[in-house]
Structure formats: C-alpha cells, structure tokens
Amino acid sequence: MKFIAADVVSAFPQSADPSDRTAVRQRTLKTAIGCTGIGLHSGAKVTMTLQPAEAGTGIRFRRTDVKGRGAIVPALWSHVGDTRMNSCLVNEAGVQIGTVEHLLSALAGSGIDNCLIEINGAEVPVMDGSAAPFLFLIECAGTVEQTAPRRAIRVLKAVSATDGDKTATLSPASGFSVRFDIDFASQAIARQSFALAMTRGAFKSEISRARTFGFEQEVAWLRANGLARGGSLDNAVVIDSTGTKVLNDDGLRYGDEFVRHKILDAVGDLYLAGAPILGHFHGVRSGHALNNRLLQALFADQTAWTWTTIAPGSAAAQATPASAPALALAANG
C-alpha cells in the first residue's frame, strides 16, 4: 500500500494555519432536493429532503412527523444510540433517525458542512444500499460556498478502540486516509483489505457505489429482531447459505465490494465527529459500534485532537469531488 502524498487533498481537506484568513469556506447545498425510498431495517416508506442550511449549523435531521423542538436530531457522535447493524441517532426527547451512515458518507464525500435533512419517518431510505444515490442527489442540487471558514478536526496522537479481535484507530496524518481489513469465514468475502487517500474524486469512484451486504441465513433472525425488513437484492449484496455465492443476478460492483462498503460506513460514522477529520483511520473488522467508541475515545482525550481551519487549494475549496479522476492506490488481499 502506498499513498501519493501530494494527492492527499480533496473533498477531504488538508490542514492549515488556524490564523490563515484565506482558509477554505464552509459549503451547503445550492438548492433543496428530495427522494423517496424505504428503510432497510424498518421497511417503512419515507420521503427525505436535503435542505441548504446556515453556516455553523452542521448536519442535522428534522423529523417532519414529529412536532416541536424534539423534531431536531443532530448528526453527532454524542447522539448515537443503537449501533446494532446501523448507526442510529437519538435526541434528548428520544426521537430517532436510523441508518444514517450512507447518507453521512455521501455528505462527507461531497464536502458538505451544513445541511438540514427533513424526513417523515425514523429511518433514512436505503436506496440501493450504497452512497451513490445520495451523491447523485447532492450533485444534482449543486453546492455553494458560505462565508464562514471550514473547520476540521486534526488528530494529534493515535487513539484506538478495541473489542476482541476488532480494532479501530485514528492516527495523525496531513489529510484524510482510510485503511480497512476484514476477514470473514464466508468464502465469498474471506480476507479483503483496501486503503485509499481521499483524493479528489476517490470517494465517488472507489467507494460510493459499494453496497451493504448480508447473509441469507441471517435474514430470518434479523427480521425476527425487527431488522432488515426492507432488505432485498435491490438494496443489498446477499451471500447464500453456503457462504460461497453472491445471490444478486448482476454480481458485484467491485471485486472487493465488501471491504469498500466497510470504508463507506466508516467514512459516514466518522463524519459524526461534526467536522472533517485530518488523520488516518485504520479499521480491522470494525463496525458502527466500534467506530463510535473510537470517536468517544478521541474526544475524551483533549490532547489527542485540535480544531483547525483548512488550506486553500484543497478539495473543499474546489469543485465537486466528481471533477477529477481518483488518484488513490489500493491494496487488495
């Protein structure tokens, strides 16, 4: 695995001197845009609209089916409740928004700092199980620069979270890069590793289309536990009960789609930090729960991170992530 250091700029920002008055500015959507779909776990049909939002307000959800102040649910690590099979947010009033990670991943990959997501139900629509439909919506709406400088969280020292043989680590780096290693008993997945620097366009081309996945034999258990009710071959890669075959007629979108989806999830989970992270993430068999525990560990140690602004010329200052080809190098196996 190698990174091309000079290319570690993109939708994911470079660091800069906090006193730099020419810092990159925050971004929001140019216009509102919506979609309709079903929740992966609830199976419920929902309508969702991504709205432009004022600088400094961050990413927030508003449940349009809930009255009053309790309708707002901030997309922050401190509001993560259930991490069983997805990242679910919950506010002080107990109002929830489930399966936020793929949408958060698309917002991170698009360099969106501020967005109000209006939704008339308790779960973000799963769409095709990847972040690509959300990226498409954001690209259709377009983005606009705001007056406030963009802030990022610079990792100052390595922080880890561990659960048995699973680990998640953040360590210092000039930009944002990710490595993920998985090892499943299923032959269809087995061992996969993927690493990339989030260069301009890399998120879109290398990560955004990777779908969520599951196992045929888990479906009954998941449904008995109120999960995966909306899941189907239209929105997930499903592996057969022998663990050797992908049941989807069209096969995989990437040969190593599984590990790429784990990166997609991690990018979304990490965006719940409330700002882009300048650091290197390494996940080994990690998942939503451990990714959240990693952010808890980072913010529990005030010597482990600091706020910074972002240098001009980096991704966030430039056009959309789609405007240039990916320059990431990946390592498989």
**Which of 2, 13, 1 has the alpha carbon at shortest distance from 198?**
13
For the CB of residue 253, give the shortest distance to Zn ion in the complex, in Å. 14
Does 257 sit near Zn ion (CB under 5 A)? no
For the CB of residue 96, give the shortest distance to Zn ion in the complex, in Å. 17
Does 212 sit near Zn ion (CB under 5 A)? yes
265-284 binders of Zn ion (CB under 5 A): 265
Does 113 sit near Zn ion (CB under 5 A)? no
For the CB of residue 201, give the shortest distance to Zn ion in the complex, in Å. 21
Does 286 sit near Zn ion (CB under 5 A)? no
d(CA 130, CA 127): 7
Which residue's CB is nearer to Zn ion, number 206 or number 265? 265
Does 314 sit near Zn ion (CB under 5 A)? no
**Which of 292, 247, 245 has the alpha carbon at shortest distance from 268?**
292
For the CB of residue 118, give the shortest distance to Zn ion in the complex, in Å. 22
**Catalytic residue list contains 282:** no
Q: Find the part of the chain contacting Zn ion (CB under 5 A) among 32-40, 206-214, 288-296, 311-319.
A: 206-214
Q: Spell out a b/e string for 116-135, using b for 16 or more CB atoms within 10 Å of the CB, else e.
A: bbbbbbbbbbbbbbbbbbbb
Strands (E) located in the chain:
15-16, 25-29, 33-38, 45-52, 59-63, 72-74, 89-90, 96-97, 115-119, 143-149, 151-155, 159-163, 166-171, 176-183, 191-197, 213-215, 237-239, 277-284, 305-310
Binding mask 155-194 for Zn ion (x = CB under 5 A): ----------------------------------------
Q: What are phi and psi of 170, to 5 degrees?
A: -115, 135
Which residue's CB is nearer to Zn ion, number 257 or number 265? 265
Contact 59, 110 (CB under 8 A): no
Which residue's CB is nearer to Zn ion, number 130 or number 146? 130
Active site residues: 288
Question: Which positions lie near Zn ion, rule CB under 5 A?
Answer: 212, 265
